[in-house]
Amino acid sequence: MTDQAPAPYAGPERVLSGVQPTGDLHLGNYLGALVKFARLQHEIPTFIFVADMHAITVWQEPAKLKQQVREIAAAYLATGLDPKVATIFAQSAVPEHAELAWVFNCVARLGWLDRMTQFKDKAGKHKERESVGLYTYPVLQAADILVYKATKVPVGDDQKQHLELTRDIAQKFNNDFSAPGYFPLPEPLTQGPGARVMSLRDGTAKMSKSDPSDNSRINLTDDADAISQKVRKARTDPDPLPETMEGLEGRAEAKNLVTIYAALAGQSEAQVLAEFAGQGFGAFKPKLADLAVSVMGPIGGEMRRLLADPAEIDRILADGASRARELAAPTVAEVKKLVGYWAG
Ligand code: TYM
């Protein structure tokens, strides 16, 4: 008898993603993730949450956490997510994430987690001092995705390894519990420029919330003056822009600014170079600053307007959580049966 390939997942497509409420959102979060959420909601049922359970894997001030969650929710709304179309909620309001994560903690192998580069980067040399939660962080992420049987996950490049782990967990669960095709093997959506936005001060480092230099990033809440100043101060080199992307090899900062321009303008990098080849940064930066202000400027204002009415944000999050639970609860009930829990 020949081995038959296991049955593939045959359920509907769903989009899921989330952002941690751990600091100001920046251009990297916007181009790598948020901008895609707003686009996808009109194509596939979309679930977007605020990852407050992930946030506490490192210390968060309890008195501030709820407000940080509202700020991310405001950013979702200000960048075009429509709560009537997409399901928007806080992770901690759907306890099924934690219930499924426990089962997945028993499916995932230590060796898989030992390979996670984000943990290594965050923990540095003193991993024994980090929380156990930080180590099992990607297992909770797998539960976030699979509790909705999501098939597409719009994220930046830095999340690809966590998505590979999610697929490994899904596949092992399906095998171990003789449930072929039960969980889908979700795909990261990282296409297009903007999947890896680099620091404005160092083209070899990722733009990040935790970079001590505020000039390294454009925050979603920056006003027009701050945005233009940061673009003007961005590190570059004295050479003119080349005709092709190959000509930007070894010029990390220059390449990053071209990529940012392309992502903000909805163009390819080749189109940007076709327009600006031969020009220096003295000419390119003001154009980039104008573009960044026109796209990013209104977002900060809209966030401030939304945050003036926290009760409305809370209402949207509560409504989203109850819709999310309608989908998550049956998954956890089925998983309990498959695992053989007494309380199944
Ligand atoms: P977080 O909060 O670190 O980042 C949110 C999103 O922004 C993307 N991103 C970037 N994209 C391009 N360039 C950059 N410089 C840049 N920096 C950040 C991230 O890739 C991410 O998409 N683990 C996730 C949160 C999470 C999640 C999930 C995501 C928890 N559960 C389930 C998807 C599905 C994170 O740390 O995001």
Q: Evaluate whether residue 1 is within a structural domain.
A: no
Is the CB of 196 inside a 6 Å radius of any atom of ligand 1?
Answer: yes
Q: Which residue has its alpha carbon closest to ligand 1 atom 31? A: 141
Mean pLDDT of the chain: 96
Per DSSP, the three-state class of 320 is: helix
Q: Which residue has its alpha carbon closest to ligand 1 atom 27? A: 18
pLDDT tens by residue, 143-192: 999 999 999 999 999 999 999 999 999 999 999 999 999 999 999 999 98
Shared-domain flag, residues 172 and 228: no
For residue 1, is pLDDT > 70? Answer: no
Shared-domain flag, residues 291 and 182: no
Length, in residues, of the chain = 344
Is the CB of 29 inside a 6 Å radius of any atom of ligand 1?
Answer: yes
Shared-domain flag, residues 301 and 263: yes
- Between the CA of 195 and the centroid of ligand 1 the distance, in Å, is 10
**φ/ψ of residue 243, rounded to 5:** -85, -25
Q: Which two tokens stand for residue 185?
A: 């093997």
Q: Evaluate whether residue 277 is within a structural domain.
A: yes
Q: Evaluate whether residue 206 is within a structural domain.
A: no
Shared-domain flag, residues 101 and 167: yes
What is the spatial distance between Cα 90 and Cα 317, in angstroms, rounded to a whole number?
6
**What is the mean predicted confidence (pLDDT) over 1-13?**
79
Q: Which residue has its alpha carbon closest to ligand 1 atom 4? A: 19
Our mutation pick for probing the ligand 1 site, out of 158, 162, 189, 190, counting the most ligand atoms within 8 A of Cβ, is 158
Is the CB of 195 inside a 6 Å radius of any atom of ligand 1?
Answer: yes
Is the CB of 144 inside a 6 Å radius of any atom of ligand 1?
Answer: yes
pTM of the model: 0.96
Number of domains in the chain: 2
| Residue 159, domain CATH | 3.40.50.620
Please give the pLDDT value at position 5.
Answer: 73
For residue 2, is pLDDT > 80? Answer: no
- Between the CA of 175 and the centroid of ligand 1 the distance, in Å, is 29
- Between the CA of 157 and the centroid of ligand 1 the distance, in Å, is 9
pLDDT tens by residue, 267-304: 999 999 999 999 999 999 999 999 999 999 999 999 99
Q: Evaluate whether residue 10 is within a structural domain.
A: no
Q: Evaluate whether residue 232 is within a structural domain.
A: yes
Show which residues are catalytic: 122, 206, 209
Q: Evaluate whether residue 202 is within a structural domain.
A: no
- Between the CA of 328 and the centroid of ligand 1 the distance, in Å, is 22
Is the CB of 186 inside a 6 Å radius of any atom of ligand 1?
Answer: no
- Between the CA of 30 and the centroid of ligand 1 the distance, in Å, is 10
How would you list the strands of the sheet with 87-90, edge to edge? 87-90, 46-50, 15-19, 152-154, 187-189
Shared-domain flag, residues 166 and 244: no
Shared-domain flag, residues 179 and 282: no
DSSP of 250-310: T-HHHHHHHHHHHHHHT--HHHHHHHHTT--HHHHHHHHHHHHHHHHHHHHHHHHHHHT-H
Shared-domain flag, residues 83 and 20: yes
Is the CB of 97 inside a 6 Å radius of any atom of ligand 1?
Answer: no
Shared-domain flag, residues 47 and 91: yes
Is the CB of 15 inside a 6 Å radius of any atom of ligand 1?
Answer: no
Q: Which residue has its alpha carbon closest to ligand 1 atom 35? A: 19
| Residue 261, domain CATH | 1.10.240.10
- pLDDT band of 36, cuts 50, 70, 90: very high
- pLDDT band of 3, cuts 50, 70, 90: low
Please give the pLDDT value at position 192.
Answer: 84
Q: Evaluate whether residue 2 is within a structural domain.
A: no
pLDDT tens by residue, 61-111: 999 999 999 999 999 999 999 999 999 999 999 999 999 999 999 999 999
Shared-domain flag, residues 131 and 183: yes
Is the CB of 203 inside a 6 Å radius of any atom of ligand 1?
Answer: no
For residue 305, is pLDDT > 60? Answer: yes
pLDDT tens by residue, 216-270: 999 999 999 999 999 999 999 999 999 999 999 999 999 999 999 999 999 999 9
Residue 290 lies in domain: 214-305
- Between the CA of 155 and the centroid of ligand 1 the distance, in Å, is 6
- pLDDT band of 313, cuts 50, 70, 90: very high
Shared-domain flag, residues 227 and 272: yes
Q: Evaluate whether residue 221 is within a structural domain.
A: yes
Shared-domain flag, residues 295 and 267: yes
Is the CB of 153 inside a 6 Å radius of any atom of ligand 1?
Answer: yes
Shared-domain flag, residues 299 and 334: no
**Ligand 1 atom index nearest CA of 16:** 34
Helices (H) and strands (E) in the chain, counts: 14, 5
